[in-house]
C-alpha cells in the first residue's frame, strides 16, 4: 500500500550522511537524486524513503504524531538500526524490545527530530 514516505530536513548534507549510514546497516541504498534531496530503497518497485528540503521554501518541521516504521527481518537488525541511529546523534525514543503480539521494535528520532521505528514480527 505505501509507495514511499518523505521527511523534511533543514540540513540536507547532515541528514543525508545520517541516512546513508543508517540504511547501510540493512543494505538500503540511494536510488534517486533530486534538486532538493534523495530517495533510498531496495528497488524502484518496493516502498522507498525520501528526504527533501520543503518545496515551499519554509523550514522543515516535525509532525506531531507522525512516525515512519522501517520493517526488517530480524531482532538483530532492529537492535543494529537503533544503535546506529544513536551513534549518529539520533535520540532514543524507546529501546529495542518486545511490544506484544510478536512485535519487536525500537524507536528513535533523526537529527531533525523526526520519529522513526524499526520493527520485525516474530511468531509468539
Nearest CA to 17 out of 95, 104, 84 is that of: 84
pTM strictly above 0.85: yes
Domain of 41, CATH number, reads 3.10.180.10
Please say whether the beta carbons of 106 and 94 come within 8 A: yes
Instruction: With respect to residue 90, please indicate whether it lies within any of the assigned structural domains.
Output: yes
Instruction: With respect to residue 106, please indicate whether it lies within any of the assigned structural domains.
Output: yes
Instruction: With respect to residue 61, please indicate whether it lies within any of the assigned structural domains.
Output: no
CA 110 to chain centre: 8
Number of structural domains found in the chain: 1
Q: Which domain holds residue 90?
A: 4-55+67-121
Position 123 scores a pLDDT of: 73
Instruction: With respect to residue 9, please indicate whether it lies within any of the assigned structural domains.
Output: yes
Instruction: With respect to residue 62, please indicate whether it lies within any of the assigned structural domains.
Output: no
pLDDT under 70 in the chain at which residues? 124
Instruction: With respect to residue 97, please indicate whether it lies within any of the assigned structural domains.
Output: yes
Amino acid at each position: 500500500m505505501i509507495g514511499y514516505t518523505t521527511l523534511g530536513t533543514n540540513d540536507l548534507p547532515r541528514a543525508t550522511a545520517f541516512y546513508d549510514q543508517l540504511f547501510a546497516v540493512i543494505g538500503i541504498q540511494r536510488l534517486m537524486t533530486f534538486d532538493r534531496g534523495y530517495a533510498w530503497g531496495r528497488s524502484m518497485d518496493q516502498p522507498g524513503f525520501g528526504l527533501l528540503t520543503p518545496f515551499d521554501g519554509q523550514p522543515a518541521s516535525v509532525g506531531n504524531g507522525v512516525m515512519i516504521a522501517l520493517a526488517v527481518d530480524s531482532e538483530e537488525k532492529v537492535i543494529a538500526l537503533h544503535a546506529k541511529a544513536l551513534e549518529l546523534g539520533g535520540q532514543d525514543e524507546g529501546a529495542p524490545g518486545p511490544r506484544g503480539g510478536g512485535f519487536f521494535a525500537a524507536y528513535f528520532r533523526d537529527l531533525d527530530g523526526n520519529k522513526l521505528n524499526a520493527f520485525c514480527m516474530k511468531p509468539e
